[in-house]
Amino acid sequence: MTKYYWKELYSEINGCQKCRLCEQRTNIVIGEGDPKATIMFIGEGPGRDEDLSGRPFVGRAGQLLDKMIGAIGFRREEVYIANVVKCRPPNNRTPEESEADACLPYLRVQFALIRPKIIVCLGATAAKYIYDPNVRITRDRGVWKEKKGVWILPTYHPAALLRDESKKREAWENMQKLKQSVMRTESQQTSRLRVTSHVMVMMMTEQMRSQQHCFLHSLRN
pLDDT in tens, 59-110: 999 999 999 999 999 999 999 999 999 999 999 999 999 999 999 999 999 9
Confidence check: pLDDT of 215 > 50: no
Question: How confident is the model over 178-203, as pLDDT tens digits?
Answer: 999 888 876 665 554 454 444 455 55
Question: pLDDT value at position 207?
Answer: 62
- What per-residue string of b and e applies to 158-186 under the rule 16 or more CB within 10 Å gives b? bbbbeeeeebbeebeebbeebeebbeeee
**CA dist., res. 139 & res. 220, Å (int):** 78
What domains sit in the chain, N to C, each tagged with a CATH number? Answer: 6-220 (3.40.470.10)
What global pTM score does this model have? 0.83
